[in-house]
Structure 1
Amino acid sequence: MGGRITALDVLRGVAILGTLGTNIWIFTHPAGPGGFLTGADDWGEALLRMVSNGKFLGLLSILFGIGLALQHASAVRRGQKWPGWYLWRSALLLFEGLLHYVLIFEFDVLMFYAIVSVVVAFVVGRSDRVVRAWLGGALVLHLAFVGLVTWLMHLGDGSLGGSLPIDTSTWLGQVRSRIEYADVFRAEVVFVLPLSTVLFLAGARLLRAGALEDSERGLRVQRRLAGWGLGLGLPLNVVTTLAGGEWFAVDRYVSAPIVSFGLLGAITMLVHRMRAPEGFLRRGVTSVGRSALSCYIAQNVIASVLCYRWGLDLTGRLGHLGVWYTVGAWVVVSALLMLGASWWMKRFSRGPVEAAWNWAYRAPQRRPVAV
């Protein structure tokens, strides 16, 4: 599997732009990030949110697991100790996620991924029996907690609580709000850690099964993923979305990840069958995928500047347009990401954040050893 895996770059690009499709509701809500927690106002908005809610974050998690498995395979081929320096990568990701949360975005996932990557790094190279045991145990824990939360929400009013008074009038005020309400904005950890463990390990197993291959074996895996993931996941997702707020946890953390596997299979099949020359859309999505970390951070910076009161305050000016404004904001930010990423990747081999991150990762290894 030498060189870049084209399907992997496209999948990452789709996952990043799809994650923006979830996050854009946060930026365009009139009450700011805290208001997003109150849920959709009507069925139409709920169904529109459903298109991206949780699915692309799940896809991103699966792809992270695939990337971790590729790094493990590379270390084994080179005879390097594992996890070894990979733990330094996880530490850097944790630090980067902390900065991203405090300075930029309330719902950062990088911190969670960093923690899970440490656990999975010690499991991914073990026997199939051990990997299956960890995957199964994490899945049972996740489903049990989702069931508990769903039961408690049925006993209550079926909501996540009232909106938080997040100050978006100044950048520093919003930073203070993130610190003050860290317990609320980081509460998703109880869902993300076990679920991400499942998806990371599933991604590693899918890589070994040939899920990204342009081959007969790969096609069989992709068809099964698309058939089961979309055939089962999408109807379930519609039902749990329309069932009401009491089913929020099932909708986002059970139904959506099932659809994520279907997206992985369907998009990979499509990529392998697209023989025409690259157009702007394919080139843009691929470039976003090749600079995924940079684009994940950039999308939140751009949306913050465009939407919040300390920026251009488009939400204050255009928020009355409702879902049309939200969809339009997603289109504009996505276009800016694809244009910027295409321009950058024509000139450099890595995205700007990836280049800085790679330097930080390599720097300790280049230090001379004292004799």
Structure 2
Amino acid sequence: MASESGRIDSLDALRGFAIFGILLINIQVFSGWGFVASETRQALAWSEWDEPIATWLDILVRAKFYSLFSLLFGYSFMMLAERVQHGPVRYHLKRMLGLLVIGTAHSLLFSPWDILMLYGAMGFFLGAFLSVRASILAACGVALLMITGVALWFAPRLGLADLGGSLSLRLLQENVPALSGGSYPEVVEANAYLSVSVFLDRIEHLRPLRVMAMFLFGAAAARLHLAERDSGHVRLLVAVALAGLVLGTALAMAEVKLTEDTLTSEMVKLVGEVGAPPMLAMGYGAILLLWWRGNGLLTRAVRSALAPTGRMALTNYILQSAICICVFYGMWGDRFASLSLAALMLFSGMFFVGQMIFSAVWLRIFTQGPLEWLWRWQIKRKRPRLLR
């Protein structure tokens, strides 16, 4: 369903849903919970719930919502390219340059676990796929995932698996303490080193190839207009939902639960590592798009509640980082490593409800989020209208 502004409410709602899943994972590093020993975790209130929560987060959420966010990025790329009449490639390159600048600032000032720089860098390659059919886009995405799996399988056997791993770990160990007790300038300096650590880790695990694969899947979905209510393709969405949710969950559970050190278990875990995130991401997207094609009271309520958050996805993504470091880092809120995972999930739920309310109120007054407005200004080189 498209709004008066031409936006697709279901697509915006799906983007808001992805923002919530990203928060559930990122809160673990912002809060410090992901860095402390198990003995310290066990002393925290409600920690008896942490193990099952962590397991299900690993199965259903970790890497899956970033994959969904990447899928939506590819969808938006193709949708915007079809709307831009003159110079769509140049327009896209300007968008990616702006995203790189925003991502770099976000990484240094707030979160070294930023994803926007990677999106901006890999997004430059999307311009080559403007005229490609949906089937070819999907085939290229599958090929990239297969290449990723083969490379990850042979890398340790060729002695290439840990080229930057030791440096990445050392940078992490040396700079995380600044987050719990350093001043803000010390945090910014630590973020610079941690950004290098994150970069090395992502290269080691071939994140750029996985992100590009999801971009291509999203672009293929946009070619078919799957987010639009009247586009048809119901059978395709049902098939993707069933295959993605059932097979994706099975692979994710195998990856998390298998502990045997055998050749077969290693292969299954690798397939789960590479295949489960895109399959579950597509499964989540397909089932929600099917639901939001309806017009029932609950359907409209959920879609309408999530859509404003998704329309301001860039602002809300960076706002999560800004608020979390104010709450948890030692320089301000000083709550670093003081909450259990169960408490963090409760905090995340309340925080996201606040973001939904904030987004809805903001968009009643303004045409778009503040960072979206600045980004559009950079692209068009002309200040767009902000007040309604």
Give TM-score scaled by structure 1 length.
Answer: 0.84
Once the two structures are overlaid, the 10-residue window that deviates more, 278-287 or 353-362, is 278-287
Residues 136-151 of structure 1 mapped to structure 2, 5 A cutoff:
136-148=142-154
After superposition, the Cα gap between the structure-2 partners of 1:103 and 1:249, relative to the gap in structure 1 and judged at 3 Å, is farther
Q: Distance in 1 between matches of 2:351 and 2:238?
A: 32
Report the equivalent of 2:283: 262
One-letter identity of the residue aligned with 2:208: L
Among 214, 217, 228, the alignment partner of 1:199 is 214
Report the equivalent of 1:48: 56
Residue 352 of structure 2 corresponds to residue 334 of structure 1? yes
Among 344, 347, 355, the alignment partner of 2:365 is 347
Q: Distance in 1 between matches of 2:157 and 2:360?
A: 47
Q: Secondary structure at the match of 2:336?
A: helix
Once the two structures are overlaid, the 10-residue window that deviates more, 277-286 or 93-102, is 277-286
Kindly provide the CA deviation profile for residues 208-249 of structure 1, in whole angstroms up to 9, marking residues without a partner as x: 234223247332221011011001001111111122599786
Q: Distance in 2 between matches of 1:310 and 1:185?
A: 23
Report the equivalent of 1:173: 186
Residue 22 of structure 2 corresponds to residue 14 of structure 1? no
Partners of 1:100 and 1:108 within 8 A in 2: yes
One-letter identity of the residue aligned with 2:186: G
After superposition, the Cα gap between the structure-2 partners of 1:311 and 1:48, relative to the gap in structure 1 and judged at 3 Å, is farther
Q: Secondary structure at the match of 2:200?
A: coil
Among 315, 333, 357, the alignment partner of 1:294 is 315
After superposition, the Cα gap between the structure-2 partners of 1:135 and 1:292, relative to the gap in structure 1 and judged at 3 Å, is same
Report the equivalent of 1:305: 326
Cα offset for 1:251?
Answer: 4.7
Q: Distance in 2 between matches of 1:215 and 1:150?
A: 48
Among 235, 240, 245, the alignment partner of 1:230 is 245
Q: Distance in 2 between matches of 1:63 and 1:127?
A: 18
Q: Distance in 2 between matches of 1:279 and 1:226?
A: 20
Q: Distance in 2 between matches of 1:313 and 1:346?
A: 34
Q: Distance in 2 between matches of 1:275 and 1:352?
A: 32
Cα offset for 1:65?
Answer: 0.4
Among 39, 58, 67, the alignment partner of 1:58 is 67
Report the equivalent of 1:209: 224
Q: Distance in 2 between matches of 1:184 and 1:275?
A: 47
Q: Distance in 1 between matches of 2:231 and 2:11?
A: 18
Identity %: 22
Q: Secondary structure at the match of 2:292?
A: helix
Cα offset for 1:347?
Answer: 1.2
Greater than 6 Å deviation, 4+ residue runs: 150-153, 245-249, 277-280
Report the equivalent of 2:120: 114
Report the equivalent of 1:240: 255
One-letter identity of the residue aligned with 1:83: V
Partners of 1:135 and 1:201 within 8 A in 2: yes
Gaps of 5+ in 1: 367-371
Gaps of 5+ in 2: 43-49
RMSD in angstroms over aligned alpha carbons?
A: 3.2
Q: Distance in 1 between matches of 2:211 and 2:105?
A: 21
